[in-house]
Amino acid sequence: MSEQKYLHLNNGLKMPILGYGTWMASEEEITVAVNEALEIGYRHIDTAPVYLNEKAIGNVLQEWLSAGKVKRSSLFVTTKLPPPGNKPDLVESTLRKSLADLQLDYVDLYLIHTPFTVMLDENGEFKRYEDGTIMVDPSTDHAAIWKEMEGLVAKGLAKSIGISNFNLQQIERLRKHCTIQPQVLQIEYHIYLQQPELIEYCKASDIAITAYSPLGSKGVGALNKMVGVERELPDLLEVPEVKQIAKKYHKSAAQVLLRWIVEKGLSVIPKSTNSKRMRENKDIFDFKLSPEEIEQLNKLDANVRVVDFAFFKGVEKHPEFPF
Ligand SMILES: NC(=O)c1ccc[n+]([C@@H]2O[C@H](COP(=O)([O-])OP(=O)(O)OC[C@H]3O[C@@H](n4cnc5c(N)ncnc54)[C@H](OP(=O)(O)O)[C@@H]3O)[C@@H](O)[C@H]2O)c1
């Protein structure tokens, strides 16, 4: 099995550099897939209440833990404070609900999923205007939410805390109000969206970065179609430079895309529910890109964001919408 590498977080804890993403997989799919992921050796699992699969993941984790097949201390489980829970008074109860679903006493990493807040209706569904667009709650107060996030660490409910989808200005502002600095920023990151300023800032501030949608997130296209968003998305697996490098190392295009990210010192969480591709995505520690190849891929940056939340129409009106 390939060696498992770690990123060292600013609180002294470590996070496996390679994780397993779980967005857009049904409970049935994810039950089979998380079992398989653990068999293959993934130990870092990324989920969120909005993925609607924490319960299924919790069942699998519980089976593995109670059978003694894995120790809690060797797992790294991340979940997120969802956009409707983005209010100080909801932080702890929202994490406690995730913990109950995941059947865990603590998560290794709790992230504020988005810098914006949305409203729920009386049935617990996203509150919408008549035209279907989401109603936002503009009262979001990052500093007050963060104080509650820090409280989760004090209570032992989260080992590390962080943010996701925050832009540089939002992080800079938040850091002025922190007792605990964010350990991790989770953002979309791949050859077409490299955000060098944001990455530089986080490196200088000792905030570890997790790259989401590293393969270009094919599922977003389907999601966009479902809600009527017409948008052509790039196919990162078909980029000629990536394919050419893959051929040289007898690796797949996906492996080159992932390897390029870990060589930059970022953590990466590809999602697959396909057994062969899950193995492929984990098998990226036995080859190394040359500095020229890394540079060749760096040059492909095109500032193309795939997860722009267009499928979540209305949130772009929130004063803290980050993009
Ligand atoms: N914080 C956030 O706001 C946020 C946003 C987006 C994602 N995330 C996290 O990041 C994870 C990864 O991002 P993502 O799911 O958006 O996209 P991704 O990992 O870039 O791409 C997943 C897609 O690529 C396919 N795939 C996986 N491995 C492949 C391979 N080796 N060759 C060819 N195709 C492959 C998958 O299909 P198969 O399953 O059929 O293999 C799936 O359609 C998510 O699952 C989630 O945990 C977080």
Ligand 1 in contact with 55 (CB < 6 A)? no
Whether 219 is in the pocket of ligand 1, judged by its Cβ within 6 Å, is yes
The rounded mean pLDDT for the chain is 96
Distance (angstroms) between ligand 1 centre and the Cα of 29 equals 14
Best residue among 271, 275, 311 to mutate for probing ligand 1's pocket (most ligand atoms within 8 Å of CB) is 271
d(CA 230, CA 226): 10
Reply yes or no on whether the pLDDT at 306 is more than 70.
yes
CA-wise closest residue to 113 among 75, 140, 151, 76: 140
Q: What value does the mean pLDDT take over residues 84-94?
A: 98
Nearest ligand 1 atom to alpha carbon 271: 19
pLDDT of residue 103: 98
pLDDT at residue 95 greater than cutoff 80: yes
Catalytic residue among 42, 51, 189, 212: 51
DSSP string, 263-307: HTT-EE--B---HHHHHHHH--SS----HHHHHHHHTT-----S-
Residue 264 CA: distances (Å) to CA of 86, 103, 208, 261, 295: 31, 34, 11, 5, 11
pLDDT category at 4 given cuts 50, 70, 90 is low
Give the nearest ligand 1 atom to 270 CA.
Answer: 19
Task: Domains for the chain: give ranges and CATH numbers.
Answer: 6-230+264-286+303-310 (3.20.20.100)
Report helix angle 142-154 to 91-102, nearest 10.
50
CB-based contact 161:153 (threshold 8 Å):
yes
Share of the chain above pLDDT 70, in %: 99
Q: Cα–chain-centroid distance for residue 123?
A: 27
Q: What is the largest CA-CA distance in the chain?
A: 56
User: Does residue 2 surpass a pLDDT of 60?
Assistant: no
Note the pLDDT tens digit of each residue in 39-67.
999 999 999 999 999 999 999 999 999 99
Give the per-residue pLDDT at 222: 87
pLDDT in tens, 219-276: 898 889 888 898 889 999 999 999 999 999 999 999 999 999 999 999 999 999 999 9
pLDDT of residue 211: 98
Ligand 1 touching residue 254 (CB < 6 A): yes
Cα–Cα distance measured from residue 110 to residue 157, given in angstroms and rounded to the nearest whole number: 9
Residue 128 has pLDDT above 60, yes or no: yes
Instruction: Give residue for tokens 């209305």.
Output: 314
For residue 304, is pLDDT > 70?
Answer: yes
Sequence-ordered list of residues with C-beta below 8 angstroms from that of 284, at least 6 positions apart, any chain: 2, 18, 251, 255, 258, 259, 262
Are 82 and 23 in contact by the 8 Å Cβ rule? The answer is no
In the numeric block, the tokens 């293959």 are attached to 40
CA of 212 to the centre of ligand 1 (A): 8
User: Is the Cβ atom of 221 under 6 angstroms away from ligand 1?
Assistant: no
CB 283 within 8 A of CB 255: yes
Task: For residue 321, name the pLDDT band (cuts at 50, 70, 90).
Answer: very high
CA atoms within 13 A on the CB side of 180: 23
Q: How far is CA 94 from CA 13, 178, 263, in A?
A: 24, 21, 35
- Tell me how far the alpha carbon of residue 146 is from its chain's centroid: 18
- pLDDT above 80 (res 286): yes
Proportion of the chain above pLDDT 90, given as a percent? 95
